[in-house]
Structure 1
Amino acid sequence: MFKVSTNLLSLITTLALLGTGSVQAGTITIDTFGAAGGRVIVGAEDFGQTQIPFIQRPVTTPAPSIIGGYRDLFLNNVIGNLAEQTATAVVSTSSGNLSYSNEASISSQLEITWDGRDNSPTVNKTGLGGIDITDGKLNDAITILFQSADLSLATTFKIWDISGNLATASFTFPQRITNQTLNFVFFQNDFNQITGNKALFQQQSLAPVDFTKVGAMQLILTGNPSSLPELDATMDIVDSRDLVPEVVEVPEPTSFVSLLAVTGLVLILGGKKKS
């Protein structure tokens, strides 16, 4: 009887080892910039009679490749030289790229907002309805591929959860870059393990932001008007992904059944031995 029990115990161990799998995070697309037509142009003639920064209403572009189905492009704080009446600030999306440029003597700030369909410069903090951009807290960061960016490009990513709590992450490129990624990281532990261009989300509200219930997101690009009035940048896909893979062992349901059956048999035989 002891020999049989030993074999059964070995079988239990084998089932326990075989009855595990791994769960890994999936990439969540925020924007591929594949939808053409999102274009905002602000010229010096729009504000040529004043020195007050001009504000341009956003262009809202619908597309299935955009989180929540829509994006708003919005140019503000546009400042230019009155002598350059033809100078412009331009942002456009086409063929998987977003291009942002400021001609000579022009500076501006670009806001890209994902908050559902509202076509408004005011962020709808519940517009995305509570999307989990961490894929069950497995994704580490929002990653953006910059094909090019000028020196001193300042970037800020804002996230509001469905309750209106806000977290922000900011990064300024110390030099002109080509084909580099920028990671806005959700969690401190992952931030310590990620290399390269990165910034950690900081809480801006009394309550912490719940990244599993996101209501709105916004990316802001800007340059220093006094030192860099001709800021240009081109960016590619924006998504949420797992940069520090974590393998979570989980027993499979069928293995649970087998494990319980064998365990029960061991208990029955053990009881018979005592009697």
Structure 2
Amino acid sequence: MKIIKKNNLIQILFIIICFIFVSININAMVIDSFDTHQVISLSSPGTQSSSVTSTSGDILGNERDMTVQLISGAGVTVEADLGGFSVLDQSQNASSTASTTLTWDGIDNSPSLNPTGLGGIDITEGNNNNGVSLTVLFDDLPATIDISIYTDASNWSKYTINLPGGIYTTPQTYTALFSNFIIQSGSGADFSNVGAIEVFINGTTFGGTDMRFDNFVTLVPEPSSFLLLTIAISLSAIYVRRKK
């Protein structure tokens, strides 16, 4: 009899452990890890674009389009995979104002937005993901980042991240829950049917703004302590009833 009860307890503990590991091992979808090198440098006001491709799983849709605009000042350089490190760096010369648009819309070798270019990717991965996140490694002055997600040209949504500046040594991860995106057209983006993603980095508020980013990925909710506790209590109650 004691052996049976002991086996029941072991089974309960096994179920709890399996639940924890399954929850932890749901991986985020990579939109861009900035492993693939790309650089644009401008020394006078103007606009320049380029596209890079990768089949290594580090870029959603296998192509990243980059458009950099130097609005005023003597220069700006935007570089992905800076010095072999998986980061995106936007460095503006003193008093320079600039912006960068990054687009993930499939392989088309064009900076022009194709709002259905990704072909309807489910970035929720069956409702396992509830947003996107971007890690900021450095930001010396206030700036904004607009994240736009398209289902098609008529249905898209946007979320704006306000960077405060003063981020020097401690990285900050900013999250944008799908539920907090603002509808811009039609019924907004269907995050289970995504045709394109666009990020606009606005370094025009203050001249000489420098920013560095890492890991643009989907957001996977961690199992809450309350949920795990509820499961543990429920399974324990089952065990107690069986013991009686």
Fold agreement, TM-score > 0.5:
yes
Partner residue of 2:120 out of 122, 126, 130:
130
The code of the aligned residue for 1:30 comes to: I
Q: How do residues 1-275 of structure 1 correspond to structure 2 at under 5 angstroms?
A: 24=23, 25-36=26-37, 38-44=38-44, 47=45, 54-64=46-56, 65-76=58-69, 78-81=70-73, 87-94=74-81, 95-162=85-152, 164-177=154-167, 178-187=170-179, 200-225=180-205, 228-245=206-223
Between structure 1 and structure 2, the one with the greater Rg is 1
Q: Deviations for 1:86-133, whole angstroms, at most 9, x for unmatched residues?
A: x32111111211111111131111111111112323211111111111
The TM-score with structure 1 as length reference comes to 0.67
Q: Deviations for 1:128-170, whole angstroms, at most 9, x for unmatched residues?
A: 1111111112212111111111221211100001474110000
* Partner Cα distance (1:173, 1:206) in 2: 28
* Partner Cα distance (1:39, 1:99) in 2: 9
Identity in percent: 29
Unaligned runs of 5+ in 1: 1-13, 48-53, 82-86, 188-199, 248-275
Count, aligned residues = 201
Unaligned runs of 5+ in 2: 1-10, 228-244
Inter-CA distance 42–61: structure 2 relative to 1 (3 Å threshold): farther
* Partner Cα distance (1:185, 1:104) in 2: 34
